[in-house]
A and B are shown apart, each in its own frame.
Chain A
Amino acid sequence: MISGTASVDELAAGAPEIAAFGTESVRLGGVTGLSLVAELRRPAREAVLPPGLHPIVPPAMSLLAWDVSESPWGAFSAAFVRVVCRSGARARTFCVGAAASTHDAVAGLRSQFGFPAHQAEISLRRHYDEVDLRVSAEDDDGRSHVGGEGGSAGRNGRGNGLMLALSALDPDPLSVGDLQHVGSMNLAHTPLGLRLVQVETHHEPSRVERLAARIDAFDAGAWGQPLLDPYWAVSCSVSLEDVEIPAIRFVCDPALPAAEGTERVQ
Chain B
Amino acid sequence: MKFGIFYELSVPRPFSRANERLTYHNALEQCRVADELGFDHVWAVEHHFLEEYSHCPAPEVFLTAVAAQTQRIRVGHGAVVCVPEMNNPIRVAERAAALDIISNGRLELGTARSSTWTELGGFCADPDDTKKTWDEFCRVIPQMWTDDDFGWEGARFEMPARNVIPKPFQEPHPPMWVTVTTPGTELDAAERGLGCLGVSAAPFAEQERRTTEYYRRVANCDPVGSFVNDQVHTLNFLYCHEDYRQAAALGLPMVGAFSMSNAHLYFTREAYPTRAYQTLGNAGAALRSRGTPNGSAPVDDPSVAKGLPEGVGIGDPDHLVRTIRKWEDVGVTGINFLLNAMEMIPQEQVLDSLRLFATEVIPQFQTPDERAARVQAPTSVPDVSATGAPAPSTMPAGASR
Residue B121 CB within 8 A of the other chain? yes
Closest to A236 in B: B273
Q: Which residue of B121, B265, B275, B305 is within 8 Å of A174 (Cβ)?
A: B275
Residue A101 CB within 8 A of the other chain? no
Closest to A2 in B: B13
* Cβ of B189 to closest chain A Cβ, rounded Å: 23
Closest to A58 in B: B118
Contact assessment for A235 and B305 in the assembled complex, using a CB-CB cutoff below 8 Å: no
Q: Which stretch (A23-31, A89-97, A137-145, A152-160) binds chain B?
A: A89-97
With contact pairs A57-B49, A174-B273 given, residues A84 and B264 touching in the complex (Cβ less than 8 Å) = no
Contact assessment for A264 and B49 in the assembled complex, using a CB-CB cutoff below 8 Å: no
Residue B355 CB within 8 A of the other chain? no
Residue A37 CB within 8 A of the other chain? yes
* Cβ of B304 to closest chain A Cβ, rounded Å: 7
Residue B190 CB within 8 A of the other chain? no
Closest to A264 in B: B301
Q: Which residue of A175, A234, A264 is within 8 Å of B117 (Cβ)?
A: A234
Residue B302 CB within 8 A of the other chain? yes
Q: Which stretch (A12-20, A113-121, A178-186, A223-231) binds chain B?
A: A178-186
Residue B263 CB within 8 A of the other chain? yes
Residue A60 CB within 8 A of the other chain? yes
Measured between alpha carbons, how far is A88 from B297 in the docked complex, in Å? Answer: 14
* Cβ of A192 to closest chain B Cβ, rounded Å: 14
Closest to B121 in A: A234
Q: Which stretch (B72-80, B100-108, B130-138, B254-262) binds chain A?
A: B254-262
* Cβ of B258 to closest chain A Cβ, rounded Å: 11
Complex contacts, B243 vs chain A, CB 8 Å: none
Complex contacts, A73 vs chain B, CB 8 Å: none
Contact assessment for B259 and A84 in the assembled complex, using a CB-CB cutoff below 8 Å: no
Closest to B303 in A: A262
The number of residues on chain B lying at the interface, defined by a beta carbon within 8 Å of a beta carbon of chain A, is: 37
* Cβ of A153 to closest chain B Cβ, rounded Å: 24
Residue B287 CB within 8 A of the other chain? yes
Contact assessment for A60 and B302 in the assembled complex, using a CB-CB cutoff below 8 Å: no
Contact assessment for A178 and B275 in the assembled complex, using a CB-CB cutoff below 8 Å: yes
Contact assessment for B272 and A235 in the assembled complex, using a CB-CB cutoff below 8 Å: yes
Contact assessment for A180 and B270 in the assembled complex, using a CB-CB cutoff below 8 Å: yes
Residue A210 CB within 8 A of the other chain? yes
With contact pairs A57-B118, A86-B264, A89-B263 given, residues A235 and B273 touching in the complex (Cβ less than 8 Å) = yes
Residue A244 CB within 8 A of the other chain? no
Residue A200 CB within 8 A of the other chain? yes
Residue B271 CB within 8 A of the other chain? yes
Complex contacts, B261 vs chain A, CB 8 Å: 1
Measured between alpha carbons, how far is A260 from B304 in the docked complex, in Å? Answer: 10
- 0/1 interface trace, chain A 178-221, chain B, CB 8 Å (1 if under): 11101100000000000000101000000010100000000000
* Cβ of A88 to closest chain B Cβ, rounded Å: 4
Closest to B307 in A: A89
Measured between alpha carbons, how far is A127 from B304 in the docked complex, in Å? Answer: 43
Contact assessment for A87 and B302 in the assembled complex, using a CB-CB cutoff below 8 Å: yes
With contact pairs A1-B260, A39-B121, A57-B51 given, residues A88 and B270 touching in the complex (Cβ less than 8 Å) = no
* Cβ of B56 to closest chain A Cβ, rounded Å: 16
Closest to B301 in A: A250
Residue A82 CB within 8 A of the other chain? no
Complex contacts, B238 vs chain A, CB 8 Å: none
With contact pairs A180-B269, A210-B273, A237-B273 given, residues A89 and B117 touching in the complex (Cβ less than 8 Å) = no
Residue B283 CB within 8 A of the other chain? yes
Residue A255 CB within 8 A of the other chain? no
Residue B300 CB within 8 A of the other chain? yes
Measured between alpha carbons, how far is A256 from B170 in the docked complex, in Å? Answer: 55
Measured between alpha carbons, how far is A211 from B15 in the docked complex, in Å? Answer: 38
Contact assessment for B305 and A88 in the assembled complex, using a CB-CB cutoff below 8 Å: yes
Complex contacts, A174 vs chain B, CB 8 Å: 273-275
Measured between alpha carbons, how far is A160 from B19 in the docked complex, in Å? Answer: 50
Contact assessment for A200 and B272 in the assembled complex, using a CB-CB cutoff below 8 Å: no
Contact assessment for A258 and B303 in the assembled complex, using a CB-CB cutoff below 8 Å: yes
Contact assessment for A249 and B300 in the assembled complex, using a CB-CB cutoff below 8 Å: yes
Contact assessment for A88 and B273 in the assembled complex, using a CB-CB cutoff below 8 Å: no
Contact assessment for A1 and B301 in the assembled complex, using a CB-CB cutoff below 8 Å: no
Contact assessment for B266 and A60 in the assembled complex, using a CB-CB cutoff below 8 Å: yes
Measured between alpha carbons, how far is A194 from B49 in the docked complex, in Å? Answer: 35
Measured between alpha carbons, how far is A31 from B267 in the docked complex, in Å? Answer: 27
Residue B52 CB within 8 A of the other chain? yes
* Cβ of A72 to closest chain B Cβ, rounded Å: 23
Residue A134 CB within 8 A of the other chain? no
* Cβ of B341 to closest chain A Cβ, rounded Å: 11
- 0/1 interface trace, chain A 157-181, chain B, CB 8 Å (1 if under): 0000000000000000011011110
- 0/1 interface trace, chain B 300-315, chain A, CB 8 Å (1 if under): 1111111000000000
Closest to A183 in B: B300
With contact pairs A39-B121, A174-B273 given, residues A56 and B302 touching in the complex (Cβ less than 8 Å) = no
**Those 4 A-B pairs whose CB atoms lie nearest each other, nearest first:** A262-B303, A89-B263, A258-B302, A89-B306
Listed by A's residue number, 18 A-B pairs whose Cβ atoms lie within 8 Å are A1-B257, A56-B264, A57-B49, A58-B118, A60-B266, A60-B271, A86-B263, A89-B260, A89-B287, A89-B306, A90-B302, A91-B280, A178-B275, A178-B278, A252-B303, A261-B303, A262-B301, A262-B303
